[in-house]
Structure 1
Amino acid sequence: MEHWTSRLEAGYQRYCGLLFGALALVMVACVLFVGQDVGLSNNGDFVRTMAASSLRFGNQLPSHTYVDTFQIVLPHPSAWQNVLSILFGGDGLANYPSLHVLPVRVSVVLSLVVNKLAGLPMDTYHLEVLGGMYTLLYAAGIGLLLSQFRLRRLWQDLLVKLAALVVLCDIGYVAYFNSLYGEALEHIALVYCAAMLVRVLTRQPTVWDGVWCALAAASYGWAKFFNIPVAILLVLVLEGIVLVRLGRRRVLAAGGAALALLLGVWAIVPGWMDVETNYNAVFYGIVRDVDEDTAKEYLSDLGLPEELSDYRDTNYYLGGLLESLEARGLRDAAESVTKLDLVRFYLTHPGRLWEQMQLTALHCGMIRPYYLANYGGDQPLMSYSQRMSLWSTARDALPFDTLAGNLAVPAAFTALAVLVWRRRLKPAHLALLLLALWGALGYCYGLPVMLNGEGDFAKHMFAFLELLDLLLLACLALALDRAGRGRPEGVLCPAVGGALALALLLPPAWDQAASLWQAGQAHSQLQPGSYVTLGNYGGQPLTWLVVGQEEDRFTLLCQDEAISLPFDEDGGNDWLGSTLRTWLNDGFLDGFSPDHLALLQAQDNTVLLPDHLRGQAQEGHLDFACTHIAVLADRGYDRAYRRQAQDTVTLPDIDLIATLARAGQDISGASYWLETPYCPSDALVRYAARDGHLYFGPAQVARVVRPVVQITGAELSGGNGSRAHPFLLSWAPAVFRLS
């Protein structure tokens, strides 16, 4: 038996990389290609990649749905001429000189081969071909990474490497493979960088290791221009380690070539990127959600005219923006800001920088962007896939949306690195390594909002999230591997790992306990936070939470999830014309007794309008922006296009939900409609989901309905106001003060 165990362990050690590479291949393939294909929809960024890769959309521009076929441009009569043009043509490269274009071009040629073999139209591009290429590269990278280390005990090694598969094969990462976003190649290159870093730290490196380090780091930076500074840092670190451990200056050639390449790419980054991102950094960042006086002060500090304060909370892609700036003679001024101006502003305004760092933390929980769909075909718009989403779900529930949560992982890794490597590395070398790590993390965390504002924030935090997840896996490996060893690190390393686990697990557990405690609290009078019973649906009484009070008028939000209806059966996203509004103010009230009907009061309802109905607005002058983060969701509400209406029953709107979230109220639940439209569309409506985030989806899909009413003149006739025993109400027309 021991003989076979030894042979199995030896085989595992020898073929570990192949085993986990194969597992990664199967897992990613299952996520992307089993059943209906999964990918990411286009947010507008596909255009620049397609223009450089002989692709176009064809008859229609897809919106809010995943599309896996595009049209190949074949201008030449000869097949070989077309292939050479696709692979080596210069069209579009000046506008987007990214390494990401290379695999896309190769996938276009492979699509031609697929079409020829399968008898399909030759001008059809199959996005799955690119996804398959990336899947193979990624599986090889994961196999390489996991073959570079082995923990002391077999069960520890298996646990860490299976955890790595769960994290790295999560849909939040691999859905990018079936898309034309550069994040796919960036992420694959980072895994190779991590593999090479582990290799040169744990083994005697060779000159070829130096070459592969340089290639991996250069690919990481060239895939996404934002990452070039981090890639330069990676080149210096990786080549420095190889040089110190190998002692051969020949490795400097590879490092020097990589640095020259990265600096050359940085020098030719197209100017339009700076113009767009710098505008967003100012108007969708620095003066985002500030009052007019503060906006004028900040703009003056940037050397910009105060009249531009009218454009706060706008981004560069807003329809009609450039025309408005041109008409007022302000476009040149608005586009005159440089990256140096932005950095100088934040260095001289530390208070605003601190606010932006706190805001950035809120965007660090979710890996995949909430505004990109995973499914296409006959699926409704903005349909998401839950395949292999265990880590995405867990990560979103952990406190990575706080500064403390994001600092806990690198702090723990720093402590573990000092404990484990203090004898292997010279103190100066270890300090430089950790300094480089913190520098890379600081850049990836702070620079997106500083240099691009909140534009495309979810995608721009991707580099930070992937670094943090790799560090978390490293913490798990180091803490487990040192457990039980005789030296001090045998106790201290598991202690650091345990402290990190507590730092990540206790906050959500505390929040859940606080929510349950709050729901179980008894009340002596009707007040915000108490529960009442009012009306019924389907023969069952409805429970409501008191969410607001103004004198003797109370606002109630239904807590039941029994009602499920479309927002509008015709697919419109305007509350005023929706079938749901009609039913709530008519048929829904059939379940209320005369006493309960007498309690209901007409509400002065502020209704935000979708962009296509802005001509009907009675107030406002701003397109309402969308975010998935509830506590930020109502920014710009008081300046958005809106009108007033009278309703007896409404839905929770974005203002109410944001107010409740900021007050610490749990706003999660089975996906339920909000009254607010997704303004850029004429068919999508906002809704709150079980994870506590706000999304948008098609109006004709049935979702939970949680009505909002206002009551006055109520008398308590039973219950204690807790969720389990809500107050019973009766109408008391002579009563003006509740007791």
Structure 2
Amino acid sequence: MIKLLKQTITVLEKYISPASLAAFGVALVLLIELFIPPYIGMADNGDYYRILYSNGLYFNVPDYTSQTLGYFVKTFGIFQYYNENSALLWSSQTLFVRLSLAISKWLGYDQQFDIRIQAALYSVLYIGAVYLFVKAAAWKASRRAGYGLAAAAVFVFGDIGYLAYFNSFYSESVVLIMLLLLFSACMLLYQRQYNDYFLLFLFGASALILTTSKQQNAPIGLIVAIVAVLFVFLRRGRVFRTLAGVQALVLLLTAVGTYALIPEQFVNINKYHAMTRGVLMTADNPEEALDFFGIDKQFAVLTGAIYYDQFSPIPVESEEMQVQFLDKYGFPSIARYYLTHPGAASKIFETAARNAFSNRTKLGNYEKTTGKPFGKRTLAFSGYSYLKELAAPKTSGFVVLWMVVIAGLYAPSFYKAVKARALRRALRLPIILMMMASGLCAMGVAVIGAGDADIAKHEFLFAAAFDLVTFWTIADCVCRRLWGPNAQKNAGEEEDELSLGQQQGGHL
């Protein structure tokens, strides 16, 4: 058996790299799950309308409403004439939906849109992202370690908890691809495996699309912009430094603009859930919690309510609700409430931690025509999702411990790089901290901004960031890159490397 394994590795090394093997493995899983019957996707939770109508699509299945939450629907109608629907919110996801629609029409399908066209577009991007990630993760790895990491990457990033999003209109698919590209670009820049200008562009493009993919990612844009400032000092060349500086400024302005452009309707929905599914549910006395915000105690009847409930004690779109309830508080005041009520804060963040390690939602994965029960989820290629849910300690304490341990592991090499005044070698820890801070920010925004409403999906970015950082840390350990000689020198390090002590300009 061992001899066969060695022979297999020898053959693989001759014809295919670890990165190519991982990309091929993920591509095979994508083909089987998304493009061969029974097709796997995700049911609509009621949010599809936000992205569909404004992009020229509509629901054309007669019993679509009865399939919501339980069945995956793959075909939608295409508006043939004037579309009077304006965008409910601006999202970079629109770029991918419209490109998929254009491809559909180019292929001759101008009456009905098959969501698998969008899935194919996402799949191409995702396969490329996995390739770059494993290319970086397997840097300086031995033969066995490299192919082991490739197999592990297929197991983790080929999990259906990630891939099922591609056959849906949820923005999490965009978040996953761009987060993977962002992290890969940073680490390849640190390793200097590709052209710096190409990686700088890849970093900026993925960061922009990630920040604008959904409004709750606006704070993440600020975090990424801070790391982008470090790239300004990476090289001596004025051109590179100017491009990096402009990019950092654009990311900062994009983050601010993304938050400012959130439509009032969605602000109200999130505020409603932040109070009814957050503050009131975690308070020992809901009436006292309402008094903190200056809200009439009669609104305690809304404890646990959902904005979309068919029957509500107080109509959610009424003037009374707006004036006497929603206008009385905002996200800053909710954050202040949690800061002054540690018991409630502990409860809401424990709720967040319990759902932070789940890659899957409770939405159905099958089409109704398959005859599967309503809400049935596939078990195929879901090993990592279930392993993660079973093994991860779902507590806020574990999240803090995980961050402290990871930061501690990378601190020695960071200190050595700073002491040696080598900025490029010092990049690794800031990149890791960027990913962890982005995940933690996503968790905080989810619970403060919307309580526990649809929390598993809202915390998707944390789940993805956790997987990326943990995978990378294991890869660094396996490849002896944490503190050993592999961590001391980057490939191709040349004289145009700008040290921490050299801030003067120059030419390439």
| TM-score normalized by the length of structure 1 | 0.59
Percent identical among aligned pairs is 20
Match of 2:124 among 128, 136, 143: 136
User: Are residues 438 and 392 of structure 1, via their aligned partners in 2, closer, same or farther at CA, if it must alter by over 3 Å?
Assistant: closer
Q: Structure 1 residues 231, 326: CA separation in 2 closer, same or farther (over 3 Å shift)?
A: closer
Work out the CA distance in 2 between the residues paired with 1:6 and 1:42: 46
- Is residue 2:262 matched to residue 1:269? yes
What secondary structure is seen at the aligned counterpart in 1 of 2:63? coil
Which deviates more from structure 2 when the two are superposed, residues 393-402 or residues 45-54?
A: 393-402
- Deviation of 1:297 (Å): 0.8
1:92 to 1:326, Cα distance in 2 relative to 1, 3 A: closer
Deviations 1:358-387 (A, max 9, x none): 121111232111134444323221111112
Partner of 2:172: 183
Equivalent in 299, 303, 314 of residue 312 of structure 1: 303
| Partner residue in 1 for 2:448 | 450
- Once the two structures are TM-superposed, the CA of residue 39 in structure 1 deviates from its matched residue by 0.3
Task: Give the equivalent residue in structure 1 for 2:186.
Answer: 197
Pair 370,45 (structure 1): closer, same or farther in 2 beyond 3 Å = same
- CA deviation map 1:487-509 (0-9, x unaligned): 8999xxxxxxxxxxxxxxxxxxx
2:147 to 151, 154, 158: 158
Instruction: Give 2:115's match in structure 1, choosing from 111, 121, 127.
Output: 127
Quick one: structure 1 residues 5 and 141, their matched pair in 2 at CA, closer, same or farther if it must change by over 3 Å?
A: closer
- In the TM superposition, residue 274 of structure 1 has moved relative to its aligned partner by 0.9
Instruction: Tell me the secondary structure at the aligned position of residue 401 of structure 1.
Output: coil
Instruction: Please tell me whether residue 242 in structure 1 is matched to residue 203 in structure 2.
Output: no
Deviation at 1:307, TM superposition (A): 1.4
CA displacement, residues 476-533 of structure 1 (integer Å, 9 cap, x when unaligned):
112212299878999xxxxxxxxxxxxxxxxxxxxxxxxxxxxxxxxxxxxxxxxxxx
| Among 232, 248, 254, the residue aligned to 1:255 | 248
CA deviation after TM superposition for structure 1 residue 115, in Å:
4.0
Q: Among 300, 325, 328, which residue is 2:291 paired with?
A: 300
From the superposition, tell whether residues 139 and 489 of structure 1 become closer, same or farther in structure 2 (CA, over 3 Å).
Answer: closer
SS at 1:246 equivalent: coil
Contact 2:282 2:344 in 1 (8 A): no
Counterparts of 1:458 and 1:100, CA distance in 2: 20
* Residue 172 of structure 1: aligned partner: 161
SS of alignment partner, residue 320 of structure 2: coil
SS in 2 for 1:386: coil
Cα distance change, pair 488–202 in 1 and its aligned pair in 2 (3 A): closer
**Given the superposition, is the C-alpha separation of residues 47 and 9 from structure 1 closer, same or farther in structure 2, using an over 3 Å criterion?**
same
Q: Cα offset for 1:304? A: 1.2
* Number of the residue aligned with 1:563: none
Question: What is the CA–CA distance in structure 2 between the aligned matches of 1:382 and 1:217, rounded to whole Å?
Answer: 34
**Alignment check: 8 A CA contact 2:409 2:482 kept:** no
2:345 to 340, 353, 373: 353
CA contact (8 A) 2:54 2:86 kept: yes
| 8 Å Cα contact 1:375/1:383 also seen in 2 | no
Counterpart in 2 of 1:370? 362
Higher relative contact order (CA 8 A, sep 6+): 2
Pairing 1:256-655 to 2, within 5 Å after superposition: 256-288=249-281, 290=283, 294-321=285-312, 323-324=314-315, 329-336=320-327, 337-377=329-369, 378-425=371-418, 436-482=434-480
Aligned mates of 2:393, 2:246 — CA distance in 1: 40
* Aligned equivalents of 1:417, 1:260: Cα separation in 2: 31
2:63 counterpart of 1:60: yes
Q: Which has the higher helix share?
A: 2
The structure with the greater share of residues assigned to strand is: 1
Q: Distance in 2 between matches of 1:167 and 1:312?
A: 38
Q: Report the alpha carbon displacement of residue 404 of structure 1 after superposing the two structures with TM.
A: 3.9
Residue identity matched to 1:371: L
Instruction: Give the distance between the partners of 2:457 and 2:10, measured in 1 at CA.
Output: 46
**What is the alpha-carbon distance in structure 1 between the residues aligned to residue 356 and residue 181 of structure 2?**
23
1:366 alignment partner AA: S
Mark the CA change 1:210 to 1:369 in structure 2 (over 3 Å): closer, same or farther: same
Q: Which whole-Å CA distance do the structure 1 matches of 2:230 and 2:10 have between them?
A: 34
Tell me what 2:502 maps to.
none
The structural deviation recorded for 1:234 is 1.6
Q: Given the alignment, which residue of 195, 214, 223 partners 1:233?
A: 223
- Counterpart in the other structure of 1:102: 95
- Summarize the Cα distance change of 1:158–1:240 in structure 2 as closer, same or farther, 3 Å threshold: farther
Return 5+ residue gaps in structure 2 as ranges: 1-5, 489-508
Give, in whole Å, the separation in 2 of the partners of 1:275 and 1:307.
Answer: 19
C-alpha RMSD of matched pairs (Å):
3.0
Following TM superposition, by how much is the alpha carbon of 1:265 offset from its aligned partner in structure 2, in angstroms? Answer: 2.7
**Partners of 1:128 and 1:322 in 2: how far apart?**
41
Quote how far apart the aligned CAs of 1:242 are.
2.4
Distance 1:147 1:295, change over 3 A: same
AA at the equivalent of 1:60: D
> Does the CA-based 8 Å contact 1:56-1:73 persist in structure 2?
yes
* Residue in structure 2 matching 1:222, options 200, 212, 217: 212
For residue 42 of structure 2, give the secondary structure of its aligned residue in structure 1.
coil
Equivalent-residue separation in structure 1 for 2:390 and 2:373 (angstroms): 26
- Give, as a single letter, the amino acid of the residue that structure 2 aligns with 1:210: L
AA aligned opposite 1:53: N
Shift of residue 398, structure 1, vs aligned partner: 0.7
2-structure distance, mates of 1:459, 1:485: 36
Kindly state the Cα deviation for residue 454 of structure 1 after the two structures are TM-superposed: 1.0
Residue 48 of structure 1 aligns with an amino acid whose one-letter code is R
Q: Distance in 2 between matches of 1:312 and 1:98?
A: 31
Contact 1:365–1:398 (8 Å) recurs in 2: no
C-alpha separation in 2, matches of 1:289 and 1:347 = 13
**CA gap 1:180/1:341 in 2 versus in 1, 3 angstroms:** same
Contact 1:74 1:123 in 2 (8 A): yes
| CA displacement at 1:406 relative to structure 2 | 3.0
1:136 and 1:374, CA in 2 relative to 1: closer, same or farther beyond 3 A?
Answer: same
Q: Is 1:278–1:451's contact at 8 Å kept on the other side of the alignment? A: yes
Partner of 1:640: none
Alpha-carbon distance between aligned partners in 2 of 1:341 and 1:441, rounded to the nearest angstrom: 23
Change (3 A) 1:483 1:203: closer
Summarize deviations over 1:188-219 as a string: whole Å, max 9, x none: 00010011111111117623322221111111
Question: Which residue, out of 80, 86, 92, partners 1:92?
Answer: 86
* AA matched with 2:309: L
Figure out how many residues of one structure are paired with residues of the other and give that number.
Answer: 465
CA 1:131–1:344 in structure 2 vs 1: closer, same or farther (change >3 Å)? Answer: same
Using a 3 Å threshold, how does the CA distance of structure 1 residues 227 and 327 change in structure 2: closer, same or farther? closer
Deviation at 1:329, TM superposition (A): 3.5
Taking the aligned partners of 1:222 and 1:485, their CA distance within structure 2 comes to 37
User: Contact 1:153–1:481 (CA<8 Å) still a contact in 2?
Assistant: yes
Q: Counterpart of 1:257 in 2: which secondary structure?
A: helix
Maintained 8 Å contact 1:142/1:191? yes
The amino acid of 1:339's aligned partner reads F
Are the counterparts in 2 of residues 373 and 382 from structure 1 also a CA contact under 8 Å? yes
Q: Which residue identity lines up with residue 86 of structure 2 in the other structure?
A: G
Contact residue 58 and residue 79 of structure 2 kept, 8 A:
yes
Cα distance between partner residues in 1 of 2:103 and 2:431: 41
